[in-house]
Amino acid sequence: MSDYRHLLLASDFSEGSAQVAQRAADLAQRYQARLSVVHVVDYLPVADSAYGPAIPFDPELTDQLIDSARQRLAALAEPLGVPEDARWVEIGSPKLEIVRVAEEKEVDLIVVGSHGKHGLQLLLGSTASGILHHARCDVLAVRLTS
């Protein structure tokens, strides 16, 4: 197996995210690989719904969420030495966007936490398991116990 050349850290800024970030940075150093980071703003406005009141698309709220995500991503990425052009904020379904970014940027290892904001109800969180199912590259799920 050849060395990894480009690692993608997916962060949801949850409790264990610093531990996941440290593991990704250690691996990047070990493989002398590039490290990029991505956060997906999980905000899906419902334009029309048969089941209840529609939640209108709010561009101002979307901008605020993106700005706040950029700041949090910068705070996470800077100590790891990840340059600005390797920090990505996307909107949509986390698992689909993370897999899409990984393919687009020719990532060969995605690093995620085994769990995120959704806690420990499942052996592997739904985002982590969705990425495992859909990614074409290797995926490392860093075991988080809380």
Binding site for ligand AMP (CB under 6 A): 10-12, 14, 20, 38-40, 42, 94, 98, 112-113, 115-116, 118, 125-128
Question: Side chain identity at 30, as an amino acid letter?
Answer: R
**Residue number with CB closer to ligand AMP (27 or 94):** 94
**Residue number with CB closer to ligand AMP (22 or 126):** 126
Tell me the closest approach of the beta carbon of residue 90 to ligand AMP, in angstroms. 8
What would the DSSP string read from start to end of 60-122?
Answer: HHHHHHHHHHHHHHHHHHGGGT--GGGEEEEES-HHHHHHHHHHHTT-SEEEEES--TTTTSS
Tell me the closest approach of the beta carbon of residue 42 to ligand AMP, in angstroms. 5
Tell me the closest approach of the beta carbon of residue 144 to ligand AMP, in angstroms. 7
Q: Which two tokens stand for residue 28?
A: 């990047």
DSSP-derived 3-state class of residue 34: strand
Tell me the closest approach of the beta carbon of residue 115 to ligand AMP, in angstroms. 4
Spatial distance between the Cα atoms of 48 and 45, rounded to a whole number of angstroms? 9
**Residue number with CB closer to ligand AMP (25 or 128):** 128
